[in-house]
Amino acid sequence: MSRPGMDGQFGRVVMARDGIDALIRLLDRQGFRVLGPTVKDAAVALAEISSTTDLPVGWTDAQDAASYRLVKHERETLFHYTVGAQSWKQFLYPSRTCLWRARRAGTELRIESGASPEQKMALFGVRSCDLHAIGIHDRVFAEGSYRDPGYVRRRSNMFVVAVNCSKAGATCFCTSMSTGPRATDGFDLCLTELTSPDGITYFVEAGSSYGQEMLAQLPSRTANEPDVSSVNVMITGTIRQMKRSLETAELKPLLQKNAEHRQWLDVGKRCLNCANCTMVCPTCFCVTVEDTTDLSGNAERRRAWDSCFTLDYSYIHGGHIRTSPQARYRQWLTHKLASWHDQFGSSGCVGCGRCITWCPVGIDITAEAGAIRKSVKIG
Distance, CA of 176 to CA of 337 (rounded, Å): 12
Measured over the CA atoms of residue 177, residue 183, residue 184 and residue 186, the dihedral's sign is positive
| Rounded Cα gap, residues 169 and 196, in angstroms | 22
pLDDT at 112 over 50: yes
pLDDT digits (tens, 9 = 90+) for 328-353: 999 999 999 999 999 999 999 999 99
**Structural domain containing residue 307:** 251-374
Q: Does any domain span residue 271?
A: yes
Q: In this predicted structure, what is the pLDDT of residue 60?
A: 97
Q: Given pLDDT bands bounded at 50, 70 and 90, which one contains residue 9?
A: low
Residues 275 and 232 in one domain: no
Tell me whether residue 4 is in a domain. no
Q: Is the pLDDT of residue 192 over 90?
A: yes
CA-to-CA dists, residue 297 to 108, 114, 293, angstroms: 11, 17, 7
161 and 180 together in one domain: yes
Instruction: Please list the alpha-helical segments (H only) found in 122-203.
Output: 128-137, 149-156, 174-177
Yes or no: say if 14 and 20 are a contact pair by the CB < 8 Å rule: no
Indicate the average pLDDT of the chain.
94
Of 75, 40, 42, nearest in space to 193 by CA: 75
Residues 83 and 184 in one domain: yes
The pLDDT score that the predictor gives to residue 116 is 78
Q: Does 1 have pLDDT greater than 80?
A: no
Does an H or E element contain 288, and which? strand 287-293
What predicted TM-score, i.e. pTM, was given to this entire model?
A: 0.94
Would residue 70 count as lying in a domain?
yes
**pLDDT at position 10, please?**
85
119 and 33 Cβ atoms separated by less than 8 Å? yes
Per-residue pLDDT at 377:
66
Average pLDDT over residues 309-336: 93
Q: For residue 3, what pLDDT is reported? A: 43
- Give domain status of residue 379, yes or no: no
Would the pLDDT of 4 be above 50? no
Mean pLDDT, range 236-255, rounded to an integer: 97
Q: Is residue 6 part of a domain?
A: no
Residue percentage of the chain with pLDDT more than 90? 88
In this structure, the answer to whether residues 113 and 219 fall within a common structural domain is yes
The tally of domains found in the chain comes to: 2
At residue 378, the pLDDT reads 54
Task: For 117-176, write each residue's pLDDT tens digit.
Answer: 788 999 999 999 999 999 999 999 999 888 999 999 999 999 999 999 999 999 999 999
Domain boundary among 207, 240, 273: 240
Lowest mean pLDDT across 98-107, 127-136, 340-349, 370-379: 370-379
